[in-house]
Amino acid sequence: MKRPLLAGLLFGLFGVGVLAGEELQVAALAKDGQVHVSFRLLNAFTEELWAAVHSGLPTTITYQVELRRQSFPFDRTVASATVTASARYDNLTRHHTLTREVDGRGEEPRVTEDENEVRVWMTEFERLPLFSTDGLEANEEYYVRVRARTRPRTSWLFFWPWDRGVPSGSARFTFVE
């Protein structure tokens, strides 16, 4: 009887990302001298994350994006970028202020009352030109890997030092000049 309990506890510790239902869909396209990356974080807005948003705390999802080349025995990181999407809710006006940044460069903030717009703003990104194709070798296999982290952390495993429970996804492509 103790072994199934121990196995269940270990699965609970190591399978948090799967249990939470978060999934990160990624697509990559090399075009016009840029690697364009699209990604979507599904099921990110849990009750806990909405509670953090409605508390008025700045709520941020940070996406670590890496362009990697497959090589034996270890893959090599060619370039990386950080994409952040934030929402701050004003309890008095009942408006959300939304911001986005790519490697520290921000867009003009938006203000909205629509919670669906908040969810889309923070979890859906289309054709971001994140990397230059300069330096990529023709007919070589590359892939883009994306990992997402929320702040404030809503998981009880916030102290866990490894990437367990962190949603991630990747997309492969062959660079053709």
Averaged pLDDT in 10-residue chunks for the chain of 177 residues: 35 32 89 96 91 92 95 88 96 96 93 96 96 93 95 56 70 90
Question: What pLDDT does residue 73 have?
Answer: 82
The answer to whether 24 and 148 have CB atoms below 8 angstroms apart is yes
| Nearest partner of 98 among 114, 107, 86, judged by Cα | 86
**Token couple for 159:** 């102290």
Q: How far is CA 107 from CA 7, 29, 61, 98, 143, in A?
A: 46, 23, 16, 10, 27
Question: What pLDDT does residue 165 have?
Answer: 62
**Token couple for 96:** 């959300």
The span from the CA of 39 to the CA of 91, in Å, is: 30
